Amino acid sequence: MKRWKKVSLILGMIVLIMVVGVFIFVNGYINRSLPEISGEINLEGLHGRVTVTRDEHGVPHIMASNGHDLFMAQGFVQAQDRLFQMELSRRQASGTLSEVIGESTLEQDKYFRTLGLRRAAEASLPKYSEEAKQSLQAFAEGVNAYMGKATEENSLPPGFAFMGIEPEPWTPVDSLTIGKYMAFDLGGHWERQAFNYYLLNEFPEAKALELFPTYPDEAPTIINDAETVNVAASFKEAVIPPEFNGSNNWVLSGERTASGFPLLADDPHLGLATPSIWYQMHLNSPQYQVSGVIFAGIPGIILGHNEEIAWGVTNVGPDVQQLYVEKRNPEDPDEFLFEGEWEQAEVISEPIKVKGGETIDYKVLETRHGPVISEFAEKSGEDVVMSLRWTALDPTTELEAVLEINRASNWQEFEEGLEKFLAPAQNFVFASKDGTIAYKANGRIPIYEDGDDALLPLRGWEQEDAWQGFIPFDELPTTVNPDKGYLASANNKVVNESYPYHISHNWAQPYRYQRSVEMIEGQEVHTMDTMKAMQLDVKNLQAVEFLPYMLKVAENGENEAEQTALNLLGEWEYQDLHNLPQPLIFHTWLENIEDTLYNEAIPKDMQELFHGMGQTTDELLRDVRNGGSSIWMEEAGGIEQVLQKSFSVTINELTEQFGENPKEWKWGESHAVEFTHPLSSIAILERFYNPGDPVPVSGSRVTVRAAGYNDKGIVNHGASWRYVIDLANPTAADHVVGPGQSGHFRSKWYQDQADDWVNGKYHTTDMDDFTGDVLQLMP
């Protein structure tokens, strides 16, 4: 017995030593993979010394003596902090995730191969000037210099080791492909066209048209039943960008500010994750003195300011995507009808490597309109498929535009640069220290002879259904120095009926824009502090509009919990604060109204294509409240039954989740932010990549402080970057990048801004302040 105890003790000690040894090895490797932020690094290919100073928030200030060295250093520094993110980004956009993940991402890869973002990037590169190509190449050389150094020293970011991969060399096309992906993320409206098409083929015309984003005077042409596509089957594996991608921006003239100079604010609303979609930088060379943010993997600064001007964007959301119904030749599946003749489609070979499996011999079909996306080029019907015409699949030059606007010193130069920014279409607001403020809805927007045509798929076999060119650049919506002294956008409708061209049927609900204007006009003089307070505002104008009516209709609760909840809503001041019960009750009630109206009639997979559902439901409620009628409401039992039934369901659900006393419920219990890392889904890695618990946060999808959330109550969408600048001091601006600059979980800048993001704190980045850790990059 003693002998076995001794053996067990020895074995235990051996196991312990092995565990400690593995821990020391792993810990040493992880620490070794942290970027060098001070000292000297020799970088072959530089023409001169480059100084990189990282401030207390990890923002790199790069000072170079020429443009080549500036962008090479930018590529090197981005790779230090975000190489793993860059690797996943280019793979996602290129459709090559299955090479490193396996079969689970195969359908996603098929979709992106079908769209052809990388093919579009390859076609775009020749359109760039030699100077821009050199900048892209220098950036790629910097990324590759870091890759080579890290590979040689066995210090690649941990994500590569966890996935068992090494990165391939970076190319200019990789940067352009990531740029194309951002156009995809900000999207268009093909999915709503598909949904409208489904409605007209599934429901009586009057009932279908009630759910259209507009009510056309004449019903759109319904394609013959013999030529229909099974929409639910055709798009079941499509990757749909988040519906609520948008933003706020506004700019005030000096007449409305304490400093007498323009103030500008911008907060793009995109996915919230670790690492952030944005990377903040300051670039300094004889040609460039610019500060702001960029997507990891791309050179330049896409949003920010230089010493003379500042700018910000929101998504226009125009109809730049058009589905076409294509008639296939029964005798030859690669031919499609056009003007009475069969026309050969382009067949593109896109073999997909699958980790642990065989390479898939995947083929993509492209008609004259674009790729066949219904069932990703497989048969969705015997003789009919759908293709996609999209401006972002054309050769475009956005990164050329970025480099030009980085160097602009006034509105004229800035607008000249915008002419090359073609996709995605963005609402640009602009301010200059000379006092100019301006707005432009910029991008390539197709001309529709009849705007109602953009509501449905069009006939691919008819020339008359093709786009009629694009809105001329000089006729895009533009305003310079308006008399009211401010300009603002929040993905709202940007033109009135007098504008001669169609822009979109799918605008965001107007509440964020209305609230922004209310706050701008509600104060005579504004400062940086009032601009920040506006960005953090959580007043819910949707509730202001609808809740009194909802309470009037559902005035009596059926039990104590319901009556308590109704009383609480009656006392509410319409602030979507995380510590209040009212936002939780109100937003859950609205969700259950939608479920009551649509769930029995519209399958869940089709509701995924129902972008703008909230806007449509608002219109139905508004019409009925104002004395109108709705087929959807009547068939659900009438407005009283819809509101009362959905309210009872709401209180029952919330009681089960949070207890019987509504006074103790809190919005933040079902509305908390986590900044999830993609590798945290692997259980053993969760505590490293997602430290801490989700944090309750105020706001909602309809407040200026945007905070969208998933079905688990995790806030995964909102202001991925907040930014405010006073042109009285154009070298400095206040920022917050949630959750931080670094993608390395051991970095002090990994999630150091997460609490600041939640609590509404900002940090100042000054282009004249070079205080921090200094790294010298030597030729």
Does the structure show a pLDDT above 50 at 116?
A: yes
Q: Under DSSP, is residue 142 helix (H, G, I), strand (E, B) or coil?
A: helix
Q: Under DSSP, is residue 396 helix (H, G, I), strand (E, B) or coil?
A: coil
Residue 278's pLDDT band (cuts 50, 70, 90) = very high
Spatial contact of 720 and 276, defined as CB atoms under 8 Å apart: yes
Residue 688's pLDDT band (cuts 50, 70, 90) = confident
pLDDT on residue 528: 98
Between CA 326 and CA 189 the distance in angstroms is 19
pLDDT on residue 222: 40
Does the structure show a pLDDT above 70 at 70?
A: yes
Element (H, E) at 74: helix 67-94
Between CA 772 and CA 779 the distance in angstroms is 22
Spatial contact of 706 and 269, defined as CB atoms under 8 Å apart: yes
What are residue 342's phi and psi, to 5 degrees? -80, 130
pTM of the model: 0.93
- Angle formed at CA 364 by CA 363 and CA 367, multiple of 5 degrees: 140
Least trusted range by pLDDT, from 24-33, 52-61, 592-601, 728-737 = 24-33
Residue pLDDT, tens place only, 167-210 = 999 999 999 999 999 999 887 789 999 999 999 999 999 999 99
Between CA 719 and CA 733 the distance in angstroms is 17
Q: Under DSSP, is residue 327 helix (H, G, I), strand (E, B) or coil?
A: strand
Alpha-helical segments (H) within 541-581: 541-553, 560-571
Task: Match 């074995």 to its residue by tokens.
Answer: 11
Does the structure show a pLDDT above 90 at 389?
A: yes
Residue pLDDT, tens place only, 511-532 = 999 999 999 999 999 999 999 9
Residue 238's pLDDT band (cuts 50, 70, 90) = low
pLDDT on residue 193: 92
Spatial contact of 461 and 403, defined as CB atoms under 8 Å apart: no
- How would you classify the pairing of strands 60-63 and 50-54? antiparallel
Least trusted range by pLDDT, from 24-38, 208-222, 249-263, 595-609 = 208-222
pLDDT on residue 107: 93
- How would you classify the pairing of strands 426-432 and 437-442? antiparallel
C-alpha separations of 49 from 138, 360, 478, 560 in Å: 15, 47, 43, 73
Spatial contact of 312 and 249, defined as CB atoms under 8 Å apart: yes
- Angle formed at CA 194 by CA 193 and CA 200, multiple of 5 degrees: 90
Residue pLDDT, tens place only, 333-370 = 999 999 999 999 999 999 999 999 999 999 999 999 99
228 CA to centre of own chain: 32
Question: What percent of the chain has pLDDT above 90?
Answer: 84
Residue 555's pLDDT band (cuts 50, 70, 90) = confident
Give the CB-side neighbour count of residue 259, counting CA atoms within 13 A: 18
Please, what is the average pLDDT of the chain?
Answer: 91
Does the structure show a pLDDT above 70 at 379?
A: no
Between CA 542 and CA 530 the distance in angstroms is 23
Residue 227's pLDDT band (cuts 50, 70, 90) = low
Q: Under DSSP, is residue 179 helix (H, G, I), strand (E, B) or coil?
A: helix
Residue 239's pLDDT band (cuts 50, 70, 90) = low
